[in-house]
Amino acid sequence: MPIFTIGDLHLPLGIDKPMNKFGSNWDNYVDRIASNWRAVVREGDTVVIPGDFSWATYIEQAERDFAYLHALPGKKIIIKGNHDYWWTTMSKLNEFIARHGFDSISFLQNNSYTAEGISICGTRGWLYPAWPSFAEEDMKYFSREVGRLELSLKAAQTDNIRVFTHYPPMSREGEGNAFTDMLKKYGVTKCYYGHLHSYSHANRVPDTVDGIEYRLVSSDYLGFSLRLVR
C-alpha cells in the first residue's frame, strides 16, 4: 500500500479564513485537495500531513476539518504545525478522535508509526539557528524539537525511516545543525517538510545534503496534489 504526504492544508471549515487571500492559486483549494486525494489514495494507504492542518484555534472548532479529513480514503497521520493552535495534549487529541469516531486519524509526536516496512517519524521542528531572526530564546524551542525528534526516531520499528517535519530543517544554503545531525545519527535518508509558501518556496532546502534527500511538500508547492513517499 502506498504512502503519500501533503502539508499545510490550512483547512478553514470551522472558521472563515480561506487561503485565497494569499493569491488566486489558492482558489477552491479545499475541493481541489479532496479531488486530487481521491484520485490516488485508496483505503489502506497512508497519508502523512506535516503540519498546519487546520486554522481552528480550539480542538472542537476543528471538528468540521477533521470530518473532512476522515471522509477521505486512507489512514492519516498528522504532525503539529506552527498554526495548529487547536493542538492540545496527546490524551485530549486521542479522546477527541475517539469521541467523534475519526478512527482513520492519528497524531505523531514523540512516537512513530510503521507502514509497508517503513518507520514514519517526525516532529514539528522550529526555526533553525541560521534563520536570520533566530534569537537566544529560540534555542530552547529548537533544542526541545531536536529531543522530540530523537524520541520519535528511537521509537522506530524498522531501519527504513522517513522523517516528516513542519519547519524546514535548515536553510537553502544547506548548513548543518543539531536537527540534521540527528537525522544522520539514525541513518535517515529522506526528510519531508512544509511551512514554506509562495515566494518562500525559493528558500527550500537543497534536494540532497550529506546523502539525505529533502523534499518540500507544502500543498501550494505541490499544486494541491499528494507526493508519493513509497
Query: pLDDT tens digits for 167-218?
Result: 999 999 999 999 999 999 999 999 999 999 988 899 999 999 999 999 999 9
Q: Give the pLDDT score at 154.
A: 98
pTM for the whole structure = 0.96
Q: What is the pLDDT of residues 134-162, one digit of tens each?
A: 999 999 999 999 999 999 999 999 999 99
Q: Give the pLDDT score at 171.
A: 92
* 5 pLDDT more than 90: yes
Q: What band does 21 get if pLDDT is binned at 50, 70 and 90?
A: low
Q: Give the pLDDT score at 199.
A: 86
* 20 pLDDT more than 80: no
Task: Kindly report the CATH number assigned to the domain that includes residue 128.
Answer: 3.60.21.10
Do residues 190 and 134 lie in contact, with contact meaning Cβ atoms separated by under 8 Å?
A: no
- Reported as half-sphere exposure (CB side, CA atoms, 13 A), residue 210 has a value of 16
- Tell me the pairing of strands 212-216 and 208-209: antiparallel
Q: How many structural domains compose the chain?
A: 1
Written as nine digits, the cell of 147 is 529531543
Q: Give the pLDDT score at 150.
A: 98
Range of the domain at 212: 3-228
Q: Which of 169, 130, 120, 162 is nearest to 146 (CA)?
A: 169
Contacts of 71 (CB under 8 A, 6+ apart): none
Q: What band does 87 get if pLDDT is binned at 50, 70 and 90?
A: very high
200 residue type, one letter:
S
Q: What band does 59 get if pLDDT is binned at 50, 70 and 90?
A: very high
